[in-house]
Amino acid sequence: MNHEVQPVSLHSREGLALLSALAVVLLIAFFSYRGWTAFGRNADQQEVMRRTLSGITALRASLTDAETGQRGFVLTGEDSYLDPYRRARADIPELLKSLRAVTMDSPDQAQRIESLNPLVDEKLEELASTIELRRSNGLDAALAVVRSDRGRLLMEQMRGICSEVQAVALGRVVQFYAQARSSGNEGALISILGGASLFLLLLVAIITIQREAVRRQSLIGELLQTERRLKDAVAEAEGANRAKSTFLSTMSHEIRTPMNAILGYTQLMLRDPSLGLDTKTNLRIIGRSGEHLLTLINDVLDMSRIEAGRTELKAATFNLAGLLNDLAAMFRLRAAAKALRFEMVVDGESVPYVVADEGRIRQALINLLANAIKFTERGQIKLHVTLEQRIAGQLWLSACVEDTGSGLTDEEQKKLFEPFSQTKRGLHAQEGTGLGLAISRKYARLMGGDVTLTSRPGVGSIFRFEIPVERGDAGVAIKRSGSRRVIGISGGMKAPRILVVDDQIENRDWLMKLLTSIGFSVQGADNGEAGLRSWAEWNPRLILMDVHMPVMDGLEATRRIKSDPRGKDTAVIVLTASAMDEDRRSFAQSGADDFQAKPCREDELLEKIRALLNITYEYEEMSETGGASLAGLAALSANRLGPLPRELVEEIRNATSAGNKELLDKLILQVCEAADSESAHALQELADTYDYDALTQLLESVGSADKPFR
């Protein structure tokens, strides 16, 4: 019997099973292929995104390094601060080239990178021109460029574009990961269904699942690698902040050390009774100029410290009324100098003592009041202070500074609180750093409050400073004494021994001369090791110890002294030029009894010495002008000024009416040159205390005695 092989009909069960099996195989093959392709595509895209993120992070860091190096050179003039700038200049072109290559297949990212090129070129050109200006024309010319809005706007634009590139890249990383995960899940599901439906395809399904698992693990590994890179980027940012802190500490030391000698010798020379009135007037001008320079430098350092997150609050109990009265007395004179009315109103709850950072509050209010007087030509300045309870019984201090100045446009208000930003009038006046309002707002927000502004052109402005405070106890409030100059140690006391340890001979010399003139027995040493020997041999009761010295620094020397049983009887005051709070905490950990910031003010230093040695002083009462005796004013009269040239008297009268202190100082110098130094000294005292009412009355009496002057 012959058996013929019958072809399998597609309509038979076997045919349908075969077709079903083939369909399942094709379906599994299709989805597996799509998953593998998606995995490969996503892996490639992830690598592109990783390189984009790495490149843009490096570019931002290089731009920041370039600006940091420029700022350091502008402030110090030392080429060593330009090292980060030079490295950044060399790296930036290669970074941009790499970013252009990696974003070729992404038109939107490529367009963003291309938009960075002209901004980077312009920023680098601005940095280079500022450095050249610093070399050729000095600090003021360079700072004028630094204060301009262009450099800041360029950095903001570049950072904004970099942030957009990073945001898009990170978003796409998340998108690719989601797509890969979806593809993997879909493939696994098809493989399982196919295996359950067709046993013959089980092996293929298992292989597919294994491959997908491997790809998934690879993707997870890549994601973990990306996470590690992000952590590394965070660590680099923290390192940059630490570098900025080191820079601030170094800058503070480099600037405050010579300022300590300048202001120290000024204070020392003002004690010399043999100096004439003209010489002492000149010394006071040097002192005021030094203090002004120090204030400008502190503004820049304060802003940098705030931006680096290194500013800490120092809450203490203080008398709020005393602070407000001091401010009112200070600015009432300044307002009167410009023929402005000054009014202070205090209402709300009666809380004599509050707990807050008095120094930050004082600086913020001084900045706001000084700004109001600076830009108000007529009318009045009003300080309205309110204490009130708000939500949950929290006590809030609100201080409104209202002026009748020219007001601000909406455009000026938008950038008024930005660092180094000034209005057109401020730039024209060429005064200040443009940091006062920015620092005031930063301090207010650091204390949990804010500074806000309401202004209308032609009407005036209202700055509102608001912060939360706590009720304080009078028993722990900070006590303040009047301004008195120490002239000696009370009689009958043996001269205490004081050792001055400082490697800078100028700083060591003026301190030794000051302490000797008061009656202390003084010796000096030029480093910590020499200070240790002098302490062991001479046994002083107190040591003034500088921190940064060769051979052995002051902190190590202090630790060794305090670890010795004999060191318990020796008080140590650390002299520091550091602006960083964490540095000052390390001073306390060394065992020091106190610290004194440089530049040293003699009244603060001598008070610390008095408290530590438990001694008493003899004092000479001082006037508010910083040491000038007002006895000479008694000799000032219309008759004394009558012989002066009437043109000079008229110019002094006009300068007084206009409140032009700079011109007034120059004219008073002409009075001194006219062979009447005593009258010039008395006039200068009135000008320095902003007692323009007395000056005006005096000059009017001169005019009435000589009618042609009228």
Tokens of 580: 């960083």
Answer yes or no: do 607 and 637 share one domain: no
Residues in the chain: 710
Answer yes or no: do 75 and 213 share one domain: yes
- Residue reference for tokens 């202004």: 455
Mean pLDDT of the chain: 76
Q: What are phi and psi of 502, to 5 degrees?
A: -160, 130
- Amino acid identity for residue 328 in this structure: A
Long-range contacts of 153-159 (CB under 8 A, 24+ apart): 154/119, 154/122, 154/123, 154/126, 155/63, 155/67, 155/123, 157/119, 158/63, 158/116, 158/119, 158/120, 158/123, 159/60
- State the Cα–Cα distance between residues 189 and 277, nearest whole angstrom: 98
Answer yes or no: do 418 and 449 share one domain: yes
Contact of 446 with 440, CB cutoff 8 Å:
no
Give the end of a domain, one of 440, 460, 476. Answer: 476
| Whether residue 599 has a cis bond before it, omega within 30° of 0 | yes
In this model, does residue 524 exceed pLDDT 80? yes
Contact of 317 with 357, CB cutoff 8 Å:
no
- State the Cα–Cα distance between residues 296 and 436, nearest whole angstrom: 10
Highest mean pLDDT among 15-19, 130-134, 210-214, 502-506: 502-506
Give the end of a domain, one of 621, 655, 673. Answer: 621
Residue 489: which H helix or E strand, with range? strand 484-489
- Tell me the pLDDT tens digit for each residue of 341-398: 899 998 988 888 899 888 888 888 988 898 888 888 889 999 999 999 888 889 999 9
- State the Cα–Cα distance between residues 661 and 377, nearest whole angstrom: 15
How far lies 575's CA from each of 110, 247, 499, 512, 550, in Å? Answer: 55, 19, 13, 14, 15
Give the end of a domain, one of 415, 441, 476. Answer: 476
- Tell me the pLDDT tens digit for each residue of 402-434: 999 888 877 777 777 776 555 555 444 444 445
Residue 334's pLDDT is 77
Which residues, other chains included, contact 328 with Cβ-Cβ below 8 Å and sequence gap of 6+? 342, 344, 383
Beta strand spans in 311-429 (E)? 316-319, 341-348, 353-356, 380-389, 395-403
How far lies 551's CA from each of 530, 535, 547, 589, in Å? Answer: 9, 16, 12, 21
Exposure b/e, 119-158, CB count within 10 A at least 16 = b: bbeebbebbeebbebbeeeeeeebbebbbbeebbebbeeb
Look at residue 225 and tell me if it is in a domain: yes
Contact of 377 with 404, CB cutoff 8 Å:
no
Look at residue 494 and tell me if it is in a domain: yes
Answer yes or no: do 509 and 606 share one domain: yes
Answer yes or no: do 65 and 202 share one domain: yes
Answer yes or no: do 447 and 496 share one domain: no
Considering its fold, how many domains does the chain have in total? 5
Look at residue 7 and tell me if it is in a domain: no
Closest CA relative to residue 619, chosen from 489, 480, 479, 481 = 489
Answer yes or no: do 211 and 94 share one domain: yes
Answer yes or no: do 505 and 536 share one domain: yes
- State the Cα–Cα distance between residues 355 and 473, nearest whole angstrom: 8
- Tell me the pLDDT tens digit for each residue of 292-312: 566 656 656 665 655 555 566
Answer yes or no: do 678 and 566 share one domain: no
Answer yes or no: do 415 and 500 share one domain: no
Residue 153's pLDDT is 82
Contact of 362 with 331, CB cutoff 8 Å:
no
Contact of 579 with 249, CB cutoff 8 Å:
yes
Look at residue 6 and tell me if it is in a domain: no
Look at residue 5 and tell me if it is in a domain: no
Answer yes or no: do 635 and 614 share one domain: no
Report the predicted TM-score, pTM, of the whole model to 2 decimal places: 0.45
- Amino acid identity for residue 342 in this structure: F
The residue that leads in pLDDT, 214 or 426, is: 214
CATH code of the domain in which 545 resides: 3.40.50.2300
Look at residue 11 and tell me if it is in a domain: no
Contact of 652 with 667, CB cutoff 8 Å:
yes
In this model, does residue 610 exceed pLDDT 50? yes
CATH code of the domain in which 320 resides: 3.30.565.10
Which residues, other chains included, contact 544 with Cβ-Cβ below 8 Å and sequence gap of 6+? 498, 499, 500, 501, 502, 511, 573, 575, 596, 605
Domain that holds residue 234: 25-243
